[in-house]
Structure 1
Amino acid sequence: MSNHPASGVNFPGLPATELPWDRVTLSVVIPAYNETATVESLLRRVREVPLKLEVIVVDDGSTDGTRDLLEELEGELIDQLIFHEKNAGKGAALRTGFGRATGDVVVVQDADLEYDPYELPILLEPILSGRADAVYGSRFLGGPHRVLFFWHSVGNRLLTLLSNMFTDLNLTDMETGYKMVRTELLQSLPLSAYRFGIEPELTSRLAQAGARIYELPISYHGRSYAEGKKIGWKDGVSAFWSILRYNISPPRVPKWTPPSTDPWNEPDRIAAGSEGAAEPEIGSGSSDSGSPESRENS
């Protein structure tokens, strides 16, 4: 078996071993709200991923001690730590994190351990190989998953179907928490959702921009409500209205044109790599967490 980071996926004509894994930085945006039970374990698992990482955590007004715990982990596991004084919702936390990302590619990583960070290289490969601008990890394409909540599954599929009708996509899991997007593209999208409406909004904006979207199977380890799951039927109703809102009267979304040369294939990066220039330690990011700008209230 190949020993490259994404050995589970390969594309004809572009062996993954030849991809520039050492020249790309992945910004991992982690929204956190009352996640003391899981956030440290999640961060340690993220840091074990064999990629150059920028870890951005946005605490969305936690009241259970998550904020204090994150402050202790800053510098060791977190590159940028941002606080919302009041809970504003997942969408607001993600928009804050997206705006602070400086890596080449951004991925959303929930803090609850439902999604496995070890699968991040697999999601990154279609972007690195030049075939995708965004990659969704689908819970419905065959990956191992914990068996939970029949009606949640039905609701997710219905929302995905409705979204597909408007966007003319054939996604299987629009509501997935694993969404990975080129940073330049992501930061060009007009996003405004505050809560879980960010999922259909981001999908509609990517479709309106003409982005190339891939789906790959992922594992999923869902939580029960007793274990801390937060999303409920009211969020499903809200997502329904969000799909209508973000597709019926969309703002002007600039059409996306992939760059002629990806940033990780720019001559200066290639030269730096060939000359043995110092690179951020794989799996630890390039932290500037000691600067006052990297910790702020929002």
Structure 2
Amino acid sequence: MEKNISIIIPAYNEESRIEKTLDGLKDIKLINQIILVDDGSSDKTYELASKYEFVKAYKLPKNMGKGYALNYGLSKALEKSDIIGFLDADLKETSREVEKLIIPILTEDIDVTIAKFPKAKRKGGFGLVKKLARYGVKYLTGEDIQSSLSGQRVFKKQVLMEFEKIPFGYGVEVGMTIDILRKGYKIKEVEVNMTHNETGRNLKGFIHRGKQFMHILLILISRILKR
């Protein structure tokens, strides 16, 4: 039986990259629909995405955050979709690698796939956020998931139905990974050649990673308390 596959892309001020990201997806025949949720951008992200006939673009009236945008996209996708993927808007042409995430869901006994990116080309932080996420997931589930921070994921519909809504904040991916594993679903990390807009070793980058660290720490504490 053929599966209906949807991809949800939350986007905020991505006019310089969104066209290339969508171009990378246009020839993937496995995908039935692409839902782009513009999270209150102040640039032309929505206008550029709306030009693509194969994209259903929606614009939120103000910036609500990635979690809200994903939930909005899910409200449009869940009814008719069997498989749903999340992709970031800044992948550019490497978005085409999502096909590698879809295939194991179709051909193997796998419920969720997570993109495992190549090593970053430039130095970012000191690896503290990644280590916290990786070892936190392992401590709470026994599974060694190296890419639990990755937002590039594909799910069987029934997995997403376990959640009333996608959690908000920078710890969303880590929290979902823990919850999915605890419910007995199978996750597979898939190596991809994706690239995205990396944060460097500057003040903005360190502030971002500091927020990530605290959000993930709070998520881990909340999951420990639920044990």
* TM-score range for the pair, normalised by the shorter chain length: 0.7 to 0.9
Q: Unaligned stretches of 5+ in structure 1?
A: 1-19, 251-298
1:234-287 deviation per Cα after TM superposition (whole angstroms, max 9, x unaligned): 22222221232245238xxxxxxxxxxxxxxxxxxxxxxxxxxxxxxxxxxxxx
- Whichever residue aligns with residue 174 of structure 1, its letter is S
Cα distance in structure 2, aligned partners of 1:246 and 1:206: 12
Residue 103 (structure 1) aligned with residue 81 (structure 2): yes
Moved more, 187-196 or 34-43: 187-196
**1:82 counterpart SS class:** strand
Q: Are 2:37 and 2:60, in contact at CA under 8 Å, matched by a contact in 1?
A: yes
Provide the residue aligned with 1:90 in structure 2: 66
1:48 alignment partner, one of 24, 27, 43: 27
Aligned residue number for residue 24 of structure 1: 3
Distance in 1 (alpha carbons) for counterparts of 2:130 and 2:32: 30
Report the counterpart of residue 109 of structure 2 in structure 1: 131
1:114 is displaced (CA, Å) by: 6.5
Number of residue pairs aligned between Structure 1 and Structure 2: 221
Instruction: List per-residue Cα deviations over 1:172-197 (Å, max 9, x = no partner).
Output: 11001211110122123233522322
Query: How far 1:153 sits from its partner (Å)?
Result: 3.8
Q: CA RMSD in A?
A: 2.6
CA contact (8 A) 1:42 1:112 kept: yes
- The higher-RCO structure (CA 8 Å, 6+ apart) is 1
Query: Per the alignment, do residues 147 and 201 of structure 1 end up closer, same or farther by CA in structure 2, a change over 3 Å counting?
Result: same
The share of aligned pairs that are identical, in percent, is 23
The residue type equivalent to 1:28 in the other structure is I
Q: Secondary structure, in 3 states, of the residue corresponding to 1:29?
A: strand
Q: Distance in 1 between matches of 2:125 and 2:199?
A: 14
Shift of residue 210, structure 1, vs aligned partner: 1.1
Q: Check if 1:198 corresponds to 2:172.
A: yes
**Deviation string, structure 1 residues 78-98 (Cα, Å, up to 9, x no partner):** 1x3222222121111112212
**What SS does the corresponding residue of 1:46 show, helix, strand or coil?**
coil
Whether 1:57 and 2:36 are equivalent positions in the alignment is yes
CA contact (8 A) 2:137 2:144 kept: no
| Matched ranges for 1:208-227 at <5 A | 208-225=182-199
* Secondary structure of 1:41 counterpart: helix
DSSP 3-state at the match of 1:96? helix
CA offsets per residue over residues 163-218 of structure 1, 9 Å max, x none?
A: 22112221111001211110122123233522322212211221222111111212
Answer with 188-197 or 49-58: which moved more: 188-197
* Structure 2: tracts of 5 or more residues without a match: none
8 Å CA contact retained: 1:90, 1:198: no
Cα distance, 1:63–1:232 mapped onto 2, change above 3 Å: farther
Give the corresponding residue for 1:157: 131
Q: Does 1:70 align with 2:55?
A: no
Q: Is the 8 A contact 1:167 1:247 kept in 2?
A: no
Q: 1:237 is matched with which residue: 209, 214, 221?
A: 214
- 8 Å CA contact 2:124–2:198 kept in 1: the answer is no
Q: Is the 8 A contact 1:33 1:59 kept in 2?
A: yes
Matches within 5 A, 1:110-149: 110-113=88-91, 116-139=94-117, 143=118, 145-149=119-123
What does residue 295 of structure 1 align with? Answer: none
Cα pair 1:31 1:109 within 8 Å, conserved = yes
CA distance in 2, matches of 1:96, 1:191: 9
Q: Which residue of 1 aligns with 2:153?
A: 179
CA 1:146–1:208 in structure 2 vs 1: closer, same or farther (change >3 Å)? closer
